[in-house]
Structure formats: C-alpha cells, structure tokens
Structure 1
Amino acid sequence: MDSAYFLSQHDIVEVYTRLNENNKTKTLKYSQHLLEQQDKERNLMKNKRYPYRVYEKLSAGTGYSYFGDGNFDTVFYDEEIDHDFASWIFGDSMEPIFLNGEVALIKQTGFDYDGAIYAIDWDGQTYIKKVYREEKGLRLVSLNKKYADKFAPYDENPRIIGLIVGNFMPLEG
C-alpha cells in the first residue's frame, strides 16, 4: 500500500478479519506494543519537567536582603516559560496572585509602564510590587490590601530589576 494511504477503522477491521488466527495474534500483540509505546510517549510529554535555577528571594512584604552570592536552588515545573532569571517569593503582600514560596520569573527590562509588576532593588532589599513612577520616586503597591504602599525616592537609587513574566509553585519531587 502507498504510505500516503489513510486507513479508516473499517479498513483495519476488514484486513484483520481476513487474517488467519496466527497472524491475528501477531497483529494484536504488535498493536498492543504500539499502543504501549504511544502511551509512554504521551505520559513523558505530559510529565515533562523543566528545570529552573532559582536565585535569592524577592519580598512580597517588607523586603529581603539581596546577597548576590550566586547560590541557587534547582526546581522543576511542567511548563517552559521564557525568562532571564528566577527568584523565590517571600511574604504575602502580593497575594492572591503571587504566593509565599512560589517562584517569580523575571525578564530583565527597564520600566515599561505604570502598574506593571516588577522586581525592584531598593535600599539593599528586593521586592516584587506593582510599580508607579511619580515625580520624586517609585510608588510600590501591594496586591494584598492589608499592606500600605511603599515609596522609594529617586535619591535612594531604587532599581528596576525586571518585569515579572510568570510565577509558579515548584512541582514536588
């Protein structure tokens, strides 16, 4: 048969019924083998895990020291998301979207627009916050309403590390 020929379910059954018992057994065993291989491939794709190197901690609260010592943890997630680096989220001020213990994925950018969520370095601390540019500094806003806004004056050199482009809770083992 031509390799471009497409067999329908009816065509396969018709061929199968014309086989002798020995060839029916071989056909069934081979078909089961193909199905097992297909299922294994599907499960591998479904259970694919992508490694992420997670550095430092970003505070979703009062701030967390930024050591810059190069230490990292390797965690896994079932989706590959484009980013420049990843950092731990520490605190609850960005709940319900960014949870304590999650990984924040950061794309190193400058300031794009007011109200975007960024990683910020300010006064020796790192934060994850909604950021608004104001005349005398950056206003850092939490999503969790129990936290007041913070104000980072320009003369204290607050630095946008990058835009938060994703977040996830690492997969278990």
Structure 2
Amino acid sequence: MKNLNEYIQKLRTDRNMSQVEVSNAFKDKGYNVTNQMIYNWESGRIRISGELLLILCDILEISDIRAAFDRNNVPSLLSDLNESGQKMVSEYADILRASGLYKKEPAEIIPLPVKRTMKLFHLPVSAGNGAYLDSDAYDEIEVGNEVPENADFGVTISGDSMEPQFVGGQTVWVHAQNELEDGEIGIFYHDGEGFIKKLEHHDGKTFLISLNHRKYQPREIKEEDVFLVYGQVVG
C-alpha cells in the first residue's frame, strides 16, 4: 500500500516528467520549489503542504485528486494490470457479489440521546372520577428520547378507568392544544377536576369516555359546564 510520497513519485513518472521539470513548472507558477524539495517529498523526508499539493496536481494535470491519491480507490489498484487482467478481476468481483457473502453492510447509525427539560405535574389527573390538575404544581425534569418530540408536559394518572391502555401511577406525555378531534385521548378540565379521557361526540352532545366501559359511564359535557382541553396524550 503506497504512502503519499510514493504516490507523488508514481504520478510524476507516469507523466514522464523529471524532478527538474516539475520544479521549473512550480517556478513558472510563482512558487520557489527546488528539485531537492521534490526529492524530499518523494523520499518521505518532508511532507508536502496542502497548497503545494494542489499546485502539483495542476502541474501533473490531475483533475480528480481523490481518485489519484485514495489508497482504496479500485481503479488505481487495477492500473498495473493489462486489459485481460482487469477483465478477470471484474469477473471475479461479479462472482463475489453473486455469492452474497461479501456484501458491504451499511454503517449502523446510533442516535445520540437528546436531553430536554419538561414539566411534570405533581397532582395526578384522574382515570376515574376526577382529580384537580394544578397548573402551578410541577417539577422541571430532564427527559430523553423516550418522550415523544411533540410532548410539552407530563402528568401522572390516578385510577383505573383508562385501563388497559393507561394504568394508575403511569406518567403520560401531552402535546398542549385546546382542541381535539373526535376519538382522540386527551387531558381535560371539567368543573374543577382534571381527567384523562377519550373525547367523543354523539347526537350533538360531547362526552368524556373511559376505556374501562364496564366500570365507568360516559361523562357528559353540558353547555353550562366549565370545560377546557389541556392537550392530546401522545405517549
């Protein structure tokens, strides 16, 4: 496997240019590069700078720098083979691909944990007969990727009316919004109490529905009631 200095020497000799000719070409471009400097580059005694490497590529008429200097570049590996040899390598590569044993696996992308601060309310919302959601009683906690990106705050459930999907003591994450579509589960305020329920509309009436139908009846929201939507449960 060639080092950079060996590539420089090979590219120069492939173009039938002497070190003196390359030195003169540098001087024509306004760079005082001696043939001794070129010898030092090619012998590995000193390393060519990035600026001079670009000028050298221009002198040697190299338009694709990566293809010329990349050690893993396949065409450069075939450059010493004649047409028959290159054809044999190509045919062997086809056999390897067809076997399926040497397929290059994509690199695994492991997402970095994203930390953010979220409000978690102390007083639980009810999955039963109601408990007041105090908007001032909360902690600021740090959460990661386990919390949906569109969540704005968390609350703790009490009761069993939303089982089996939600259980007492569970924290749910809520996207703050003041309207929900029919059938969506959200956090609601109704006459001084906080609830997690499913919103449904029937025959011009609005109901908060429990998932535990056998134990809890629908809670009707009447026109004169104080009713607010805190948001949609998203996780």
- 1:153 equivalent to 2:222? Answer yes
- Structure 2 gap ranges (5+): 5-65, 73-109
Name the structure with the higher helix share: 2
- 1:139 equivalent to 2:139? Answer no
Identify which of 167, 178, 182 aligns with 1:99: 167
State the number of aligned residues: 133
Match of 1:58 in 2: 125
Q: Deviations over 1:8-32 (max 9, x none)?
A: xxxxxxxxxxxxxxxxxxxxxxxxx
Larger radius of gyration: 2
Match of 1:74 in 2: 141
- Other structure's SS at 1:154 match: coil
Following TM superposition, by how much is the alpha carbon of 1:120 offset from its aligned partner in structure 2, in angstroms?
Answer: 0.6
Q: Which runs of 4+ in 1 moved over 2 A?
A: 1-6, 47-53, 66-78, 133-138
Match of 1:24 in 2: none
- Other structure's SS at 1:162 match: strand
Following TM superposition, by how much is the alpha carbon of 1:110 offset from its aligned partner in structure 2, in angstroms?
Answer: 3.1
Distance 2:223 2:193 in 1: 15
Following TM superposition, by how much is the alpha carbon of 1:109 offset from its aligned partner in structure 2, in angstroms?
Answer: 1.8
Residues 136 and 154, structure 1, Cα contact 8 Å, conserved in 2: no
Distance 1:62 1:112 in 2: 21
Tell which deviates more after alignment, 47-56 or 150-159.
47-56
Distance 1:80 1:64 in 2: 24
Residues 50 and 79, structure 1, Cα contact 8 Å, conserved in 2: no
Distance 1:158 1:84 in 2: 20
Q: Deviations over 1:108-132 (max 9, x none)?
A: 2233321110111001000010111
Distance 2:164 2:119 in 1: 24
Return closer, same or farther for 1:124/1:4 CA change in 2, 3 Å cut-off: farther
Q: TM-score, length-normalised on structure 2?
A: 0.47
Q: TM-score, length-normalised on structure 1?
A: 0.62
Residues 119 and 138, structure 2, Cα contact 8 Å, conserved in 1: no
Distance 2:181 2:156 in 1: 24
Distance 2:230 2:154 in 1: 11
Name the structure with the higher strand share: 1
**Cα RMSD (Å) of the superposition?**
3.2
Identify which of 83, 86, 96 aligns with 2:151: 83
Match of 1:19 in 2: none
Q: Deviations over 1:136-168 (max 9, x none)?
A: 6520111112211111212112111111111xx
